Structure 1
Amino acid sequence: MHGNSVPDTYVYVTEEGVTRHYADGSVDALAWEDVVEVRVAGDTGADVLYILLDHEGQGCVVPRSATDATFLARLRYLPDFDLDRLTAAVDAVSDPYVVVWRSPEPPSALPDLEYD
């Protein structure tokens, strides 16, 4: 009996964020509200990678082969996101990566707290 093989990765896009499940059981996830940078990079497997990062440099790496129109549509909701810039970066994937979007607002600083 021949069944479909299990893909190496699953990507789920919701209104809250993006989650990538790997075949080994590990998971990368990032809430849209925490995304401060989007990068595009080439992969040794000839796929294009979308790299979403938060202000601490943690993030979620999403292969283009694991995305659909929902992912790209959701990227467009990031403030001042330029889909043409993304398309140009994908067409001319370079090494190591190209930053295609940064948050127009820097992360807010933590308030100075006084302790008794």
Structure 2
Amino acid sequence: MHGNSPPDTYVYVTEEGVTRHYADGSVDALAWEDVVEVRVVGDSGEGVVGGKGTEILYVLLDRDGQGCVVPKSATDGAFLTRLRYLPDFDLDRLSAAVDAVRDSYVVVWRSPEPPSALPDLEYD
């Protein structure tokens, strides 16, 4: 049976979060409630499909700097629609960043809420 080969990456967007499955079996996942920063990254390197142009990546980060990297080519309307639910998210800023970024990154959104302080634990 000869069919199309599977893509190198799958991205799933749900109400709970975003998950990226890689061809090697590894997975990046992040719950929407944990997202504190959204970046647009441009990569003109060798990894760009066809070797020309700039690959655009969306990087979602949590408070610990862990995150999920989502290629623009793997996104659909559900991903952009879900980003709009982040407090004060600006789609125009996102679009401008996608048009301008080359071999660098632009932070397009940060959580307006300050990081939660760790609770003071008292020991008896």
TM-score category (smaller protein): over 0.9
- Aligned residue for 2:76? 68
How does the TM-score come out when normalised to structure 2?
0.90
- Aligned residue for 2:86? 78
Structure 1 unmatched runs, 5+: none
**Aligned-residue CA RMSD in angstroms?**
0.9
Quote the sequence identity (%): 85
Moved over 3 A (4+): none
Q: Deviations over 1:6-52 (max 9, x none)?
A: 10000000000000000000000000000000000112313200000
- Aligned residue for 1:57? 65
Q: Deviations over 1:41-75 (max 9, x none)?
A: 11231320000000000000000001100000000
Structure 2 unmatched runs, 5+: 49-53
SS in 2 for 1:85: helix
How does the TM-score come out when normalised to structure 1?
0.96
SS in 2 for 1:86: helix
Total equivalences in the alignment: 116
